[in-house]
Structure 1
Amino acid sequence: MRIKLIEDLPMATSAELYQLSWAIDQLLADPRRIVQARGQLHTGQQVRYLNWDDGKLRSARVVSMKDRRVTVLDDATRAHFTLPYAAIVPTESTASEASGASAEPSPPRPPPEIADRADFRVGQRVSFTDQHLQRRVGLIVRINQRTATLDCDGQTWRVAFGLLNHLVDV
C-alpha cells in the first residue's frame, strides 16, 4: 500500500481506502481490544463517545454493555445509542479514579492475551458465536486438549478456547 501519511489519504485510490478500512475494522474487532475496553467501563459511568454524524465527542452515561457493543444515554439529547467499544472514550476523572487518583496519565496497556485452556473450568458458563453468527451460551461439561465441550440448550458443542468468552454479569 502506498499510503504513508495522513496527508496522502485524499490522493489514495478507492481500492486503497477500502483496503485501509478493512485493516482498521479487523484491528477494532480484535477480542483483546474489546476486553480491554470493557475492563475500563461499568454501568452508570460517565464517558464521552464519538458521534459518527458530526465526528465530535459527546458526553454520555453507560447504560448497558454487551459482547461487542455498549449502549449509552446521551446527556444532551437524552437519546440511547448503541456503539462499538472503540467509539467510547472514558472521561479524565473516571480514568484517574480507576488508577487510584493519580494526576499523571498511565501509558496504554497492551490488549490481554486470548483465552486458553487454563482460563476455563468445568461448570463455568461461557458464550461463543456459532458458524451461523448466532450467540450461544452454554455450560462447560468437559475440558479437552484443544476444545471445551459445552451443553447449550440440550445441544453439545466442541469449541476452541480462543473462541470462548467468559460471561460477565452486569
Structure 2
Amino acid sequence: MPDGAHGETLLSNVATDVRHDLSQPAIELKNVVKTYVNAAGSFTALRGIDLEIGYGQFVALVGKSGSGKSTLLNMLTGIDHPTSGEVRIGGKDIYNMSESKRALWRGHNVGIVFQFFQLLPTLSLLENTILPMDYCNVYSYADRPARAMALLKMVGLEEHAYDLPANVSNGQ
C-alpha cells in the first residue's frame, strides 16, 4: 500500500531505517528521570518528565538556571542517558540503539544551536563547519567545502569563513 494510504503520512529516516507515522508524536518522553551521582551524593535533575511534541510544533524550554533545561536537551538528542523512563523520537526509543547507531542518527537528524558554541579555536569557521560532515560522512569530501560555505552564507558569515573563532564576535 503506498505512503499516505488511509490518511496516514509516513516519512522515511535513512539514518535509522525507521518510518514515522505523522499522526503520532514526533517526540515523546515517558516518566523520564535523570539522577547524577557523585562523591557528594546524588542530584535529580529531571523527575518523571512526561512530554509529547507533535511534528511541526515549535517548543521553547524556559526556566531558571539549574532547572534541567540542558539535561532535557541532552536526553532528547541522545547525548546523555536517562536514569529511567523512555525517550521516543518518531516512535523509536533512541536509547535502545547502540551508541554508534545513536551517533549516526544524531548526525543525520539533530541540530542544536548552543548558547556558547564549542568551536575548535585553531580551525577557521569554514573548517569548524566542515568537521561534523567529516564525522557523519553526509557529503562527499569534495562537496563539503561548498556546503559549509553555503551554510555560513545562510547565517551571514561567509565573509568570515577563513577567520578563527576568536576573530569574530560571540553574536556572530
Q: Pick the TM interval, shorter chain.
A: under 0.3
Name whichever structure is richer in helix by fraction.
2
TM-score by length of 1: 0.22
Report which of the two has the higher share of strand. Answer: 1
Does 1 or 2 have the higher relative contact order (CA < 8 Å, sep 6+)? 2
